[in-house]
Amino acid sequence: MIPDKAKLIIGLIFTADFNIKELEKKLEKGFSSVDYRSAQLDFNYTDYYAPQMGDNLKRQFLSFKKLIDPAELTSIKNKAIALEENFKRAGRRAVNIDPGYILPSKLVLASTKNFYHRIYTGEGIFQEITLNYTGGGFRDYPWTFPDYRTLEYKEILTDIRKIYMVQR
C-alpha cells in the first residue's frame, strides 16, 4: 500500500536577531515554496535551548506547497540538522529547525532523541506522533511538548491542516 502524501511543516526556534528570510529562501530551495507562515511568537515554554542559543527566542511555523512521502521525514530532519550548522555563530546555534508532517489524523515530528514513545526510522532519527486530530481538533498525549499543547499552536496547525485537506 502506498501511504498518503503528507504536508511538510517546519517549526523554527531562533534568536530575535536571526535573519529568518535567508533561512526561508534555503528551505524553499530544498523543499518547495512556503504556503503558510505563522506570526513570530515568543518561545518561553522551556529553557532547554538557552545554553545553546540564549534568551528571548522566537518561534515560527512554516508549511510547504509540495506534499511529501512520509518516509522522507528522516532525510529531511538530517538536512535540517546540516542547515542549522551552516547558521551557527561563534559555535552557537542561531536556529533550531524541527521538521514534521501533517496527515488528516495526526502531526508527526522527527527527533534525534530516543524515548519510549518514539520509533527509530534510521540515519539517527526517531519519529513520534505528537498530536492526533479527532473530533474536529488536535489532541495531545502525555509526551506532547508543552508548547504543542497550547491552543495557539493547535490553531496554527489546524490552519495548515486546512490547506493540506484542500491539496489532497
Task: Note whether residue 53 is domain-resident.
Answer: yes
Whether 30 contacts 78, CB under 8 Å: no
Give the pLDDT score at 91: 87
Task: Note whether residue 138 is domain-resident.
Answer: yes
Q: How many domains does the chain have?
A: 1
Give the pLDDT score at 2: 85
Task: Note whether residue 141 is domain-resident.
Answer: yes
pTM for the complete prediction? 0.96
Task: Note whether residue 65 is domain-resident.
Answer: yes
For residue 122 the three cell numbers come to 534510521
* 3-state SS assignment for residue 5: coil
Task: Note whether residue 2 is domain-resident.
Answer: no
Task: Note whether residue 1 is domain-resident.
Answer: no
**Pairwise CA distance, residues 40 & 51, whole Å:** 21
Name residues of the chain where pLDDT drops below 50.
none
Task: Note whether residue 40 is domain-resident.
Answer: yes
Largest CA distance in the chain: 47
For residue 156 the three cell numbers come to 496554527
Q: How far is CA 10 from CA 62, 71, 105, 136, in A?
A: 5, 16, 18, 22
Task: Note whether residue 14 is domain-resident.
Answer: yes
Q: Rounded to 5 degrees, what are φ and ψ at 162?
A: -60, -45
Give the pLDDT score at 57: 96
Give the pLDDT score at 18: 94
Domain that holds residue 109: 7-167
